[in-house]
Amino acid sequence: MNISIIQQEIIWGDKAHNLKTFGDTLRSLFGKTDVAILPEMFSTGFSVDKPELSESTEGEAISLIKQLAKEGNLAIAGSFMAAENGKSYNRGFFCCPDGRIEFADKRHLFIGDEQKFFSPGNKHLDITYNGVKFRLLICFDLRFPIWARNKSGNDYDVLIYTANWPKSRIDAWDALTIARAIENQAYVAAVNAIGKDSYSVEHCGHSVIIDPRGKILASLEDFESGVRSIDLDLDHLEHVRTRLPFSKSNDDFTII
């Protein structure tokens, strides 16, 4: 299975622009990849102080994602600003080309306006696509290893992070993405945005794909716009887990 990470600028609050530019990039991947991953809130940027930009799962952002997944015969993952029952959510999605789509909301809302305007989620987005198990988490979730824990050792094969992680704390992003791969013996595909948000906070990228032993397989640099793709080696994943079955020593826990 080929997996692609897309790092490019989001124009904060300009939904029409972002849907066009990310749509163009996704179309360029038709026939070249099986899974494409977008940054957090790809259609609006981290405009959490503008809940009026939120939309339903039948809105223009997800409608476009479904259309492109079908046309390009690829799965697409990311997050968007969702509205439901009078509340706003940072909602992750994984959309398959046959129209199957799974959603889950960001559990750990960032300190400040995201906590003020948005509601947290309480479930994982776990999905199997073409025989590969994925889990999708969102940005600040990266700092909470229990929420990402590959508890059985076989909960997922690929851990996706979709993010708007700021340049000022990018060292933490670099360290924690590697840590999540090593401790969970899983591939990590972490996609960060570039550009400035509505608070004038810079986001510099460092999107990355990491193997289950912590080796960086593909990456994008500071403020680089582009796509990186790799073929997942599931035999390598199985070898790592079988040779060193660390999950058998996992501590038991319950999340409430």
Q: Are 183 and 34 in contact (CB under 8 A)?
A: no
CA angle centred on 107, ends 90 and 192, rounded to 5°: 55
CA 194 – CA 170 distance, rounded (Å): 12
Alpha helices in 29-79 (DSSP H): 60-72
CA 173 – CA 51 distance, rounded (Å): 26
Q: Which residues are catalytic?
A: 40, 106, 139
Structure tokens that stand for 234 in this block: 């599931």
137-175 core/surface letters (b: 16 or more CB in 10 A; e: else) = bbbbbbeeeeebbbeeeebbbbbbbbbbbbbeebeebbe
Q: Are 206 and 222 in contact (CB under 8 A)?
A: yes
Sheet containing strand 125-129, strands side by side: 125-129, 132-138, 158-163, 187-192, 208-210, 216-219
